[in-house]
Structure 1
Amino acid sequence: MKKRPFFIFFSLIGISVLSACHNDDAAPAKEAQNKQGVTNGGTPMSYDNQSENTSFNFSKFDLEVDYKGLNNDYEADYENENDEIEAKVDDNINDEHLNGDKAFNKLSSKFNFLNFDQRTPDEDVKKEVIDTFGLKKDFQSFELEVRFSNGTEKEYNFKQK
């Protein structure tokens, strides 16, 4: 009869220890769902470096640079709208086509070096983008559409013969 309280006491201690050591596997999954995502065709994808997106001075960056010859162009699209990121790179020159996280990682490494804003002269923006993206200067057309963080939208268009 005296063994019963002793058994109950140790059972309660064991249960307390086990519940304290319990890992809640649902918490990381829920946290991942709450993180800002990169989308690929509308499907949210996980993105772990959320602080990087907020360091850009623009929420949209749409670049198209065409060169002489068929399928000889470079396109980079980035849009961060309503906490959802879409990113795409079509580099026909180097036959590289990326979407989602891979495209975002490639673009963000370049975006970190861009310093222009809506007051920067157009020629300086063109030079900075061409240099940062490692593109050739002998393009036929250069089109860039940017929506800056303050909501201002600006287009940069250059044609060469």
Structure 2
Amino acid sequence: MNKKLALYAVPLLALSLAACSTDKDEKKEETKVEEPASDTTNDSSSSDSSSTDSSKDDSSTNEKVTEQPYKKMDLDVEYDKGDYTFEYEKKSDGDIAEIEDERDNTKKTGDEALGEMQPIVEKFTFDQNSSDEEVKKQIMDNIKIDDNYKSIKLEVKFDDGKEKEYKFVK
């Protein structure tokens, strides 16, 4: 009788322990998903889309944000009265950015620069095969560039390591 009890009790005990550890793992995963959504202050969407939107909302807090194919971007716009530059780089520990406008002596770094640049970079759809005109159109459509620019230079390093430079002179 004890042998029969042991044959049934051991597998049942193993299953119940496995079920307990799985529940804890699921609770940890649920907590991880819910934490970013609770930190967002601008998200007013339903809870179904909050986990999707949370990666975008975290962009202003130095998180890795975009799924764009750009590893690094350096943009220089030359004007008569000074240059406008923006630098953006995806890193494994978070994106970094810097914006400098010599025309009005402003410089933004960290979260402030990321908050301004990430929505712009996310709108870019060009890739290595895009024409220069398409790249120029996207730059002009998404970045506030005054019509009196002298030149625009964009250096892009794509996720696959390939680099491309675009230069537009007025």
| Equivalence for 1:50 | 63
Stretches of structure 1 that go unaligned for 5 or more consecutive residues are: 1-46
1:103 equivalent to 2:113? Answer yes
Equivalent residue of 1:134, what SS?
coil
Stretches of structure 2 that go unaligned for 5 or more consecutive residues are: 1-59
Q: Which amino acid aligns with 1:141?
A: S
Tell me how far apart the structure 1 counterparts of residues 74 and 148 of structure 2 sit (CA, whole Å). Answer: 20
1:60 equivalent to 2:47? Answer no
Equivalent residue of 1:117, what SS?
coil
The match for 1:118 among 115, 124, 128 is: 128
Tell me how far apart the structure 2 counterparts of residues 127 and 137 of structure 1 sit (CA, whole Å). Answer: 13
Tell me how far apart the structure 2 counterparts of residues 106 and 90 of structure 1 sit (CA, whole Å). Answer: 12
Q: Which amino acid aligns with 1:50?
A: E
| Equivalence for 1:9 | none
Q: Is the 8 A contact 1:130 1:137 kept in 2?
A: no
Classify 1:97/1:141 alpha carbon distance in 2 versus 1 (closer, same or farther; 3 Å). Answer: same
Q: Which has the higher contact order (CA 8 A, sep 6+)?
A: 1
Q: Is the 8 A contact 2:62 2:94 kept in 1?
A: no
| Equivalence for 1:140 | 150
Of 129-138 and 115-124, more deviation after overlay is shown by 129-138
Larger strand percent = 1
Q: Per-residue deviation at 1:84?
A: 4.7
Q: Which amino acid aligns with 2:93?
A: D
Q: CA RMSD in A?
A: 2.6
Classify 1:113/1:54 alpha carbon distance in 2 versus 1 (closer, same or farther; 3 Å). Answer: closer
Q: Which amino acid aligns with 1:147?
A: K
Identity %: 33
Larger helix percent = 2
TM-score, scaled to structure 1: 0.61
The match for 2:165 among 128, 148, 155 is: 155
